[in-house]
Structure formats: C-alpha cells, structure tokens
Structure 1
Amino acid sequence: MLKTWDEMDQVQPMVGKLLKNSIQKDRLAHAYLFEGMRGIGKKEASYLLAKSLFCSSPIDNYIPCDACSNCKRITSGNHPDLHLLEPDGLSIKKKQIQNLQEEFSKTGVESRKKMYIIVHADRMTGNAANSLLKFLEEPHSETTAILLTEGAQQILPTILSRCQIIKFQPFSPTILIKKLGEHGIERTKAPIIAQLTNNLDEALELSHNDWFAQAQKIVLKLYEVLKKNPLEALVMLQEEWFLHFKEKEQFDQGLDLLLLLYKDLLYLQLEKSSQVVYVSEMTRLQQYALHVSGRQVADGLSWILEAKRKLQANMNPQLLMEELVLRLQEGSSFV
C-alpha cells in the first residue's frame, strides 16, 4: 500500500500531488505532520518520500528506482541517514529525542541529507515535546522531519506551527474493496466490510474475524424470522442475538449490519443491484425485495437509525432491540 507514487495518486491524490510538486521544485518543507486515522498509509508515504529523496537514480527526478543501494536499504529499514522513532512503551520520552538530536549532529553517513520519522508524535511526553521543539527551531537545511499522528490536536501548538500539516483522507469504499482484494479477501466479503470501516487494518481484522462472520448470519436470520410471528422473533433475540452481541460496540455493529441489509433491499427496489453489499445473498435479497414495500423498507431504515441513536444515549440494549423488532414487524411506535 502506497509503495509507489502511482498508488499514492489513486489512494491519496491530494497528498501525492503536494509532495511530488515539492520534490520536483526542490521546495520540501523541513518538517511535515502527516495526520490521519490508523491504517491509512502515513508511514508508507513517509518511506516513499524518503526513497524519492535518497534514491541514487530517480526517474523524472522524483520516482525512486527501487534498485539502488539507498532504495533497498530504506525498504529493509537499515539506511544510516533515515531514523524511525516510535514510542518506548506508552510514550516517546525526552531521552529518545535527545538521542535523535545526537545522531543528527553528526555528518550524514552517505550524504548531507537526513530524515527522521516520529510515529505517534502525539504520544511525546511534555519534556520530549519541548526537546523536539528546540530541534525544529534550528533545522539543518538538508534535514527533513516527518511526524505521524492520528490526532494533531494533542500536539503542542508551537510544534504544529513549525510543520506543514498534510491530512490523509479516509479510504473510499471503492478503494478499500480494491485493497482488500489485493490482500486476498473474497469479493463477496469486501463490500460489507468497506461500509463499516475505512481503515485497512480494521477491515483486514474483520475479514478474518469468526465473530463478525457469525454476526452476519444472525442478522440475516433475524430478518427472515421477522416475517413470521412476533413471538418467534423475540425468542430468536433471546437464544441468539443477545448471546452474540454482548458489548455495546458489538450491539452497534449488529445494528449496522441490519441497516446495510435494509439498504440492500432499497437498492434492489431501485434497480441499483451494483450497490448491494450482501453480495453472496443476492438471490435471497431479490426475493425479499419483492415481498416488501418501499415504504416498509424506508420506515425500517429510520427505525434502525433511531435504535442506534438510543443505544448511544445508553438505553437498555435488550429493551431497545425488543422494541425495534416489534416496530419492524407491526409498525408500532417506539415507546
């Protein structure tokens, strides 16, 4: 992921354009802050930038050859002039920053160029942050700093003011489905996952999660039972739903899966089958869509969203789900 500038253009086009222009015009900032959610490619983008700067034979002055000694050493993580700093335990400590400063006080081993990447820069202790600030205030002309964070608001404003902030955008469902495919995830699994997260790491975890696979089966079974009598649906809640969806977060994910099911019914009624995410259940969903009105589907979507809001407001999950089931079956109002 994000190993080439072409991939960067596809996944993070604005980031790619900005960095490439800066490299080509020799206008790189001395310090960058890459901000964005976990699993979105900030670290990979940092290494790509490093290769572009250190490559001995760059193509068009910015595309790393991936064949020279510098490129290979960056790939293997042992280039002497590229330093990666990560939290020591829960935080980045002052001593780590001081050691980094000592390294950078030396002449570059290969050239005058040096780069350091600080992962989870928001986890610096106060003393570490102040030490880094002094480092940033007196930058060497050939030094590039990259700070990575999921939350810039947790970093000292004085540090932020000395960095060029670049925001990495969440993956779109289309991009995430493609990325999951590249990791060998079945095409029938990816669309649902891509609707629940735009984080590649989380998506990969879900794709291999047996609990999540079972959750989808329970949601589909609940919809089938809803077409029968209210008692059977309530029994199904007790025997399966409440035993599987125990934590609040799990419960919310169950409602999300139910919401996606109702959205699929709506898409099929609107003849937009390409947007269906329960791809492996297409035949069953097409039958369901024939036997429910558009108004019932729209009402169902509204009631599920209302249930999600009530869950976040700490309504009793069991009572909430029982009311939702009755609502979906009978069209009665929430209490």
Structure 2
Amino acid sequence: MEKLLPTIKSRCQIIRFALIDEERIIEKLKEAGLEQKKAQYFARLAEGSLGAATQWAQLELADANLYQTKKELVDSLCNLQYADALELAEWLLDESKEIAGTWADLDKTTSKTDINRRASRTLIRIIISALSDAMQLNVTAEKGLTNFDQKEQIKKLAGRFGPEQAAEKIADCFRTLRWIDASANEKLIFEQLLLNLAISGRMKV
C-alpha cells in the first residue's frame, strides 16, 4: 500500500486483515537474523503487522541503527527541555535522512519522496509508542510496554505527562503524521512537535 501513489491510494478500499500474534512475528524476525530484544521491540512497535516489523528488521540488519536511534530518542524525550527542542528536532531530521538512505538502498522501487515520508513516520511512531507506554503506566501495570527495554525512561515520562496530557501529545503526533503525508517541511514539522512535547504540566521547562 505504501508503494502506491497518493492519487491511487485515495481510490483504494482498505481491507483489514487480522493482526498477527506477537510471538509469531518475533520468531520470523529472529529467523531473519535479529536478536531477541530487538525482535520483540519491533514486533510490539508494529502492532501486529508482520510487514512493518520485517521492514524495520531489514533496516536494522542493514546497519541503519534504528534500534539505537529509538533508544536515544526515548532517552531524550523523558528529559526534554524547551530550550533543547530545536536541537533535538535537527538531530531527528538527520536521523530520518540516514534511515531513508538505507531504506532507499533496500527498496529500489519506491520513490525517494515516499521513502523519506516512511522514515519520518517511523520516528513519529516511536514517539507515539513512548507516550502510549507512559499513558498506560499511569493507569495500569507495566506489562506489555512497547519500550519494555527502557522502563525507567517510560516511568520518568509517565511522571512528566498524566494520562490526559499524554493523550493530547499523542494527538499532536498523529497530526504530525498527517502533515508528513501532506509533504510539509519536515524540519518545521519536527520543530513544532518537539516544542509541543517540551511543554509539561508536571515539569518546569
């Protein structure tokens, strides 16, 4: 679906298939050569989509360092100050370009523009996953966190954003995804999102 032109996608009917069990996705990713922790993370980030998880695994195996990028991004989010937002946005833009470059080497049939969008969307999904984990931690137990490998950072993020505020930040992220699809300036998109994320009702910035 991602390889179709926007004008074609707008005329397509989306048929939803059943989500694939997390353990099955993990096994597939491990068979491809990914270690357990990374396989589990990408399986949870993919939310039942074997296709998405496989793409991220291929990136990781091609030395795109996507997993390390996600760890650094989650670290940065839980400590984000307003004064640091623009610098983090610049870093995020650079990481997006690096990921897109590796993705383009793996996928010769998709346009550069669509590859760039895909890379940016992946980074926003990582941010969404961290905020969703923080929201979950505020209302339920920590079992099933996407970022299970960074529980302390998620706890810190949960202390920064209450459930309602986390939900608002997640909504900001989904608006960002729509701007990415609309081909808005990625630098400005990342800056606006991170400036919004730096504002917290529980932490002085």
- Shorter-chain TM range is 0.5 to 0.7
Secondary structure, aligned partner of 1:314: coil
1:220 Cα offset (Å): 1.5
Secondary structure, aligned partner of 1:258: helix
- Matched residue, 1:24: none
1:67-112 CA-to-partner distances (Å, cap 9, x unmatched) read xxxxxxxxxxxxxxxxxxxxxxxxxxxxxxxxxxxxxxxxxxxxxx
Compare 174-183 and 187-196 and name the one that shifted more: 174-183
Equivalent residue in structure 1 for 2:78, among 212, 218, 224:
224
Q: CA, structure 1 residues 171+192, in 2 after alignment: closer, same or farther (shift >3 Å)?
A: same
**Do structure 1's residue 314 and structure 2's residue 163 form an aligned pair?**
no
Percent of residue pairs bearing the same amino acid type: 19
Q: TM-score, normalization: structure 2?
A: 0.67
Distance across 1 between alignment mates of 2:164 and 2:127: 17
Segments of 5+ residues of structure 1 without an aligned counterpart are 1-167
- Matched residue, 2:174: 305
**Do structure 1's residue 243 and structure 2's residue 97 form an aligned pair?**
no
1:264–1:285 contact (8 Å) kept in structure 2: yes
Q: CA, structure 1 residues 170+294, in 2 after alignment: closer, same or farther (shift >3 Å)?
A: closer
Aligned length: 161
- Matched residue, 1:176: 25
**Do structure 1's residue 295 and structure 2's residue 164 form an aligned pair?**
yes
Distance across 2 between alignment mates of 1:221 and 1:209: 24
1:245–1:254 contact (8 Å) kept in structure 2: yes
- Matched residue, 1:281: 150
Distance across 1 between alignment mates of 2:87 and 2:57: 33
Q: CA, structure 1 residues 252+326, in 2 after alignment: closer, same or farther (shift >3 Å)?
A: same
1:75-224 maps to which residues of 2 (within 5 A)?
A: 171-181=20-30, 185-194=34-43, 195-196=45-46, 197-199=49-51, 201-202=54-55, 204-211=57-64, 212-224=66-78
Segments of 5+ residues of structure 2 without an aligned counterpart are 1-16, 98-115, 201-205
1:252-267 maps to which residues of 2 (within 5 A)?
A: 252-267=121-136
**In structure 1, what residue type is equivalent to 2:88?**
M
Distance across 1 between alignment mates of 2:193 and 2:130: 15
1:201 Cα offset (Å): 4.2
1:198 Cα offset (Å): 1.4
1:235 Cα offset (Å): 1.7
Distance across 1 between alignment mates of 2:153 and 2:72: 15
Q: CA, structure 1 residues 225+286, in 2 after alignment: closer, same or farther (shift >3 Å)?
A: closer
Distance across 1 between alignment mates of 2:72 and 2:165: 21
Compare 242-251 and 196-205 and name the one that shifted more: 196-205
Q: What is the RMSD of the two structures over their aligned residues, measured on CA atoms?
A: 2.5
1:324 Cα offset (Å): 0.9
More helix by share: 2
2:172–2:193 contact (8 Å) kept in structure 1: yes
**In structure 1, what residue type is equivalent to 2:20?**
F
Secondary structure, aligned partner of 2:146: coil
2:169–2:197 contact (8 Å) kept in structure 1: yes
Q: CA, structure 1 residues 174+237, in 2 after alignment: closer, same or farther (shift >3 Å)?
A: same
1:218 Cα offset (Å): 3.6
